[in-house]
A and B are shown apart, each in its own frame.
Chain A
Amino acid sequence: MKDWGYSILKGRQIDFENNDFSIAEFVAQHEPSFKWCIGCGSCTATCSAARLTNFNPRKINLLIQRGETKGLAEEVAKCMMCGKCQLVCPRGINTRNVIQNIKRALNTCHAL
C-alpha cells in the first residue's frame, strides 16, 4: 500500500493500565533503592552525560516506574558510569547499580 506519510498520532498520555512494568519490577527487585526517588533532580544536575546530551537519569527512573520504556536502551547507553549522581543523591539511591540493572533488564526482559 502506498505510504502517504500520514499516521494516527499516538496519545502522549501515560497509559498505566496497558503499560509494561517488567523492567521496573526487575530493577526494583535487584536494586530496591530504585523506588526511593523523590524527583529532586540533583543526579541530573551533576550528571556528566547530561551536560553534553539530553540524558536525564531522574526522568529515566520515573518513566521506567510508569512503564514507559520506549527508546530506553539508547538512553541508558549515554551513561558513563562516573557515579557522581550517587554522591549527590539525598535518598541514598545506588544509582549506578540502578543503571546496571536497567541494562540487565533490557537484556532479560526484552530480547533486543
Chain B
Amino acid sequence: MTKTPQHIIIIGGGPAGLEAASCLGEVGYKVTVLEKEEQTGGKLRLWYKLFPGFRPSGEVREYLANGHKMNPPEIVTKAEVIRVDPEIDHHQVVLADGQTLKADAVLIATGFQVFNAEKKEEYGYKIYDNVITSVDLEAQFISGNPLKTVAGVAPRRVAFIHCVGSRDKKVGNVHCSRVCCITGVKQAIEMKEHLPQAEIFNFYMDMRMFGQNFEELYIEAQQKWGITFIRGRVSEIAENIDGSLQLKAEDTLSGRPMRMNFDLVVLLVGMVPAAGTEALGKSAGLAFTSGNFLASNDTHFFQNETHTPGIFVTGTCREPLSVAETLTDARAATVRIISWLREKELKSNN
C-alpha cells in the first residue's frame, strides 16, 4: 500500500504562500493553498514595478504561478479561513462557508494590508483630492495614463511623505514598515521619469536603506534624478484655494519650520497585518508582536514556528518584509515544516 502523503494547508495565496507551496510540493507533500480572493498573487497584483531594480511585478507573479509544475498544489480561491483549531494529531482549518479541512501542518501566510491613510486626518487623504497613497500611485502607473492632478494638469511639484502609519504611536503602530523608504525612492524616480520637469521632495524621519542596492538607488535618486530629501515629519497638509496643497514640516537639519506648496502629495503607507489575522491567530492560540503581527516562537532560531506545534508562519503576517525577503522566508519555513513532519512521522511509526 502506498502511504498517503502528509497534508499541509497554507492559508494565503500571496508570494509567501505560493513559494512555500511549490517548495513543499517539490518534496512530495500534498499541499492545499487557501486564498480568500478570487485570484492568487496577493498584493503583488497592486504593484507595477518592484524595488530596487524596477522588475515588473508580473514577472514575480509568473514565477510563482510556474513554480510547482511537478507536483502542483491544490489551490482553492474564494476560501476564507476563519479559524484554526489545533489538535494533538492534526489541525482543523475552518472556512467561512462552514467547511472543515484536516491538516498535518498549517502554514499561515495571510500577509499584510496597507495602513488606512484616512486615520492620519492631518494629511487629508480622502479629504483633499490631490493627496494619494503609494498604492494609488502604483495603480496609476499600471493604468498607463499620464499623471495629472485633479485639475487635469501635470504636477510641477510633488511630495512623498514617509512613515505614514509607521513609527507613529498616535495610530497605534510603533513598528517600522521597512519597505516604504525604498518604495519612496523607487516611486520618486518613476515619477521623475514620467514628469522630467517636476520637482520632487521626499520628507523622511530616517532613510532606512537596509537591502542590497537600496542605498545605491537612494544615491541615484539624488545624483541622477535630482530628488530632494528633507529630514522632517510633515505635521499637516492644508488645501489652497486653487486645489494645491500647503505642507508644513520642520527641516530638522536646519532646525527651522518650513512651509511649501505642492500639486500632488503621495503618502507612503505602511504595513499592518491583514484583516482577520488577529482572529485567526487567537483561534490557534498564537502570540502577537507589538504591531499585532503573528509572533514567532523565537526571534533568532524559530522565526517560522509559532508557540503551537504544527502551526507555522511566514511572510508579512509575521513582520513587514520586502518581496525578496518574503520569498526567502517562505523557503526557510518550508525546511522547518519538513523537519517537523518527518519527526512526527518517525514518532508515529515507533
Residue ranges of A at the interface with B (Cβ–Cβ < 8 Å): 12-17, 32, 35-36, 38-39, 58-59, 62-63, 65-66, 68, 91
Contact = CB atoms under 8 A, between A and B. Distances in A.
Given A14-B251, A66-B251, A38 B256 contact: no
A102 B211 CA distance: 36
B231 A39 contact: yes
B253 A15 contact: no
**Listed residue (A12, A13, A59) with the most chain B CB atoms within 10 angstroms of its CB:** A13
Interface stretch (B137-145, B147-155, B258-266): B258-266
Given A35-B226, A36-B222, A39-B231, A12 B253 contact: no
A63 B259 CA distance: 14
Interface of B: 207, 219, 222-223, 226, 228-229, 231, 251, 253-254, 256-261
A13 B253 contact: no
Nearest to A41: B253
Contacts of B223: 32, 35-36
A59 B254 contact: yes
B260 A68 contact: no
A14 B229 contact: no
B170 to A, nearest CB: 24
Given A36-B222, A39-B231, A16 B254 contact: no
A17 B261 contact: yes
A32 to B, nearest CB: 8
A102 to B, nearest CB: 16
A15 B259 contact: yes
A100 B260 CA distance: 29
Contacts of A65: 228
B260 A13 contact: no
Residue of B228, B254, B258 ringed by the most chain A CB atoms within 10 A: B254
A59 B256 contact: no
A47 B63 CA distance: 53
A9 to B, nearest CB: 14
Nearest to B254: A62
Contacts of B207: 38
A55 to B, nearest CB: 15
A17 B253 CA distance: 19
Nearest to A39: B253
B256 A12 contact: yes
